[in-house]
């Protein structure tokens, strides 16, 4: 596992910048497949690095608040 991914996930000034699929699953109380369906529908901005999907915190939070 590369040490670069944690650097990409965390901002030095404002905490996390991305959520993992598992974190989104826990926030919403849904299964992993449902999270992947949201990603497939591009409900919020995400990137795939290696085998990991990273969801933009700002985009997800805006979507959750109905501001997407």
Runs of H (alpha helix) within 1-68: 4-9, 21-28, 32-40, 57-64
Query: What is the per-residue pLDDT across 7-26, written as a single tens digit (0 to 9) for each?
Result: 444 444 458 899 999 999 99
Query: What is the per-residue pLDDT across 26-66, written as a single tens digit (0 to 9) for each?
Result: 999 999 999 999 999 999 999 999 999 999 999 999 999 99
- CA distances in angstroms from 45 to 2, 21, 67, listed in the order given: 23, 12, 13
Q: In 3-state terms, the chain is what percent helix, strand and coil (to 5)?
A: 45, 25, 30
Whole-angstrom Cα distance, residue 5 to residue 10? 9
The pTM (predicted TM-score) of the whole model is 0.73
């Amino acid at each position: 596992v590369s040490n670069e991914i944690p650097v990409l996930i965390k901002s030095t000034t404002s905490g996390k910048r991305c959520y993992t699929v598992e974190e989104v699953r826990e926030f919403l109380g849904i299964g992993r497949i449902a999270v992947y369906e949201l990603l497939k529908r591009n409900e919020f901005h995400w990137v795939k690095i290696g085998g990991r999907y990273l969801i933009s915190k700002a985009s997800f939070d805006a979507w959750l608040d109905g501001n997407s």
